[in-house]
Amino acid sequence: MCYVATALGKVYSLKEILAYSKESDLAIFRVDNRGEKLAHLSLGDAAQVGARVCAITHPNMFCYYYSEGVVARNVSEGSDQSRRMEITADYARGSSGGPIFNSFGQVTSESD
């Protein structure tokens, strides 16, 4: 069973997965919010090399771990030229898929 949990301990199940990409480590899903209004994350511009970023992840089941760093590089690889952003913020096993935020608190991604 997949679920979303808030920092305050509220748990919501996922209704459905709308789209996903294993290669991009990205999923878009619908949450069963039981009629409650949930806060959303704003999307920001792509991050350039050297930009300050922070990560909120769950490494090794240590929930809501916060770390800061900078964008070290943006990489294209593979035959499909998949893009990925490499950062200096600490993260470990279990952090995959956690959001990377810019200095405005918006979710950011790699630049072209």
**Helix (H, G, I), strand (E, B), or coil: what is residue 60?**
helix
Ranges for all domains in the chain classified under CATH 2.40.10.10: 41-112
d(CA 38, CA 32): 10
d(CA 43, CA 26): 14
Q: Give the CATH number of domain 41-112; options: 2.160.10.10, 3.90.1150.10, 3.40.50.2300, 2.40.10.10.
A: 2.40.10.10
| pLDDT for 65 | 85
List the chain pLDDT tens, one digit each, 112 residues. 678 888 788 999 999 999 988 776 778 889 999 999 988 889 898 899 999 999 888 888 777 788 999 999 988 776 666 778 888 988 777 676 678 899 999 998 776 6
pTM above threshold 0.75: no
Nearest to 89 by CA among 73, 104, 100: 100
| pLDDT for 61 | 75
| pLDDT for 32 | 93
